[in-house]
């Protein structure tokens, strides 16, 4: 999802700033840092942030030449609506999957509108949704996936979707959204430090030739704070995820108690 920086923009910007909502192991945040961008993080779980530093080489704030402006441990929606200034970000990365479930309030028209407010006029939003079953948000045929895309189209002028592995039905889907220009285009001619990584180079080359995912949104409405079907739509995926982990950790008392 850090390919947001390859989206063609209207202006040439200095001091590029990005916001990562949902850190994971910190791969995208570190990639943007390696590219010389300032990166803010909003992560609800302090353990995830600590582990990203301890086990996955995420730099600590202001302890190296790779710096974060801010690390916010708490609700990403609260950060966007109450703390972030507008418009302040070139890129927002939205990646909040956890346990076969995503928080429905982070996919509403109201929240995406708040993200649009903190983006610069030619800023770019990237949203990752992850597939587990046909009913899950990330499955290209699922109603949940279509409602997320319909919601983004309600807020942003241009919205495009890409499958991580074309031809596979259960996988990551990355959605890019902008409010400028007539369409979203990528410029893969530019160089960056990550091209020293052979795997990254192969991934970038593969992405540059991928067809976009086209979804039939006929009859699909957007998600709002008042009408949000995402929780119910995700129930089968949460159960499927639970069953998968029970197979991987059959004797894990911790997992059983946690869920």
Parse the chain into domains and list their residue ranges: 2-258
Task: Give the residue, 193 or 26, on which the prediction is more confident.
Answer: 26
What is the topology classification, in CATH, of domain 2-258?
Rossmann fold (3.40.50)
Give CA–CA dist 26/203, Å, rounded.
18
Top-confidence range, 11-15, 61-65, 166-170? 11-15
pLDDT score at 151: 97
Mean pLDDT to the nearest integer, 34-60: 91
CA angle (122 as vertex; 165, 30 as ends), nearest 5:
55
Q: What is the pLDDT at residue 196?
A: 62
Exposed, middle or buried by CB within 10 Å (0-12, 13-18, 19+), for 33? buried
pLDDT tens per residue across span 101-130: 788 999 999 999 999 999 999 999 999 987
pLDDT: which is higher, 178 or 163:
178
DSSP state letter for 7: B
The DSSP H or E segment spanning 204 is: helix 198-208
pLDDT value, residue 254: 57
Residues annotated catalytic, as ranges? 95
Q: Report the distance separating Cα 37 and Cα 165, nearest Å.
A: 28
Residue 79 has pLDDT above 80, yes or no: yes
């Amino acid at each position: 999802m850090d390919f947001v920086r390859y989206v063609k923009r209207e202006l040439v910007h200095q001091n590029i700033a990005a916001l990562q909502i949902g850190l994971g192991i910190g791969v995208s945040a570190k990639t943007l840092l390696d590219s010389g961008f300032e990166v803010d993080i909003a992560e609800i779980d302090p353990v995830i942030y600590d582990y990203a530093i301890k086990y996955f080489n995420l730099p600590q704030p202001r302890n190296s030449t790779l710096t974060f402006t801010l690390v916010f441990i708490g609700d990403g929606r609260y950060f966007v609506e109450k703390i972030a200034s507008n418009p302040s970000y070139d890129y927002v990365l939205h990646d909040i999957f956890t346990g076969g479930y995503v928080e429905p309030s982070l996919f509403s028209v109201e929240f995406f509108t708040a993200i649009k407010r903190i983006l610069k006029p030619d800023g770019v939003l990237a949203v990752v949704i992850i597939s587990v079953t046909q009913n899950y948000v990330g499955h290209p045929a699922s109603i949940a996936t279509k409602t997320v895309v319909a919601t983004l189209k309600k807020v942003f002028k241009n919205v495009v979707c890409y499958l991580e592995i074309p031809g596979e039905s259960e996988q990551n889907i990355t959605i890019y959204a902008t409010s400028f220009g007539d369409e979203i285009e990528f410029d893969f001619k530019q160089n960056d430090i990550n091209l020293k990584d052979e795997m990254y180079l192969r991934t970038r080359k593969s992405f540059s030739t991928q067809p976009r995912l086209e979804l039939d949104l006929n009859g699909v409405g957007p998600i709002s704070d008042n009408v949000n079907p995402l929780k119910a739509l995700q129930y089968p995926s949460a159960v499927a995820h639970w069953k998968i982990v029970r197979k991987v950790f059959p004797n894990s008392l911790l997992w059983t108690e946690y869920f």
